[in-house]
């Protein structure tokens, strides 16, 4: 594909505000690099994002006003963000994190799950 076609595709796929930001770029590569820098950030920014997500993962708890579905969705969003930044945990880590993040009133159910299931083989969906 020619340089001009690629540039036309990129320009056609972005908003007017984004176009104003990259309007001075002359090649598809410089446009791409500028967009990556804007939305992904440089390596330092990505490491900072990863650090924040890791901290959120480590401190993850079910919120008082949250049902299990909302908590699981919030957890999956956090895990997806970590995967994008190439910071991932095992499924076993996720299962343990979910079980540990539940409030005290869930303790009987957690104990039943731990006794009935092999947590190392348990998927998040089965949990």
The pLDDT of residue 96 is above 80: yes
The confidence score (pLDDT) of residue 101 equals 95
Where are the chain's structural domains? 3-39, 46-116
Q: For 29-38, 54-63, 111-120, which range has the lowest pLDDT when averaged over its residues?
A: 29-38
pLDDT tens column, 21-38: 777 887 888 888 887 777
pLDDT tens column, 77-88: 999 999 888 888
What mean pLDDT is predicted for residues 65-84?
93
**Residue for token pair 């446009």:** 31
Q: Count the neighbouring beta carbons within 10 Å of the beta carbon of residue 90.
A: 9
């Amino acid at each position: 594909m020619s340089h001009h076609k690629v540039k036309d595709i990129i320009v056609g796929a972005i908003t007017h505000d984004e176009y104003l930001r990259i309007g001075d770029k002359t090649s598809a590569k410089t446009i791409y690099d500028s967009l990556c820098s804007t939305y992904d950030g440089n390596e330092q920014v990505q490491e900072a994002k990863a650090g924040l997500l890791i901290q959120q993962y480590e401190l993850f708890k079910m919120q008082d006003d949250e049902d299990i579905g909302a908590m699981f969705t919030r957890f999956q969003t956090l895990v997806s963000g970590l995967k994008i930044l190439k910071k991932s945990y095992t499924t076993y880590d996720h299962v343990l994190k979910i079980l540990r993040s539940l409030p005290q009133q869930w303790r009987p159910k957690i104990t039943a799950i731990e006794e009935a299931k092999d947590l190392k083989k348990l998927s998040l969906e089965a949990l």
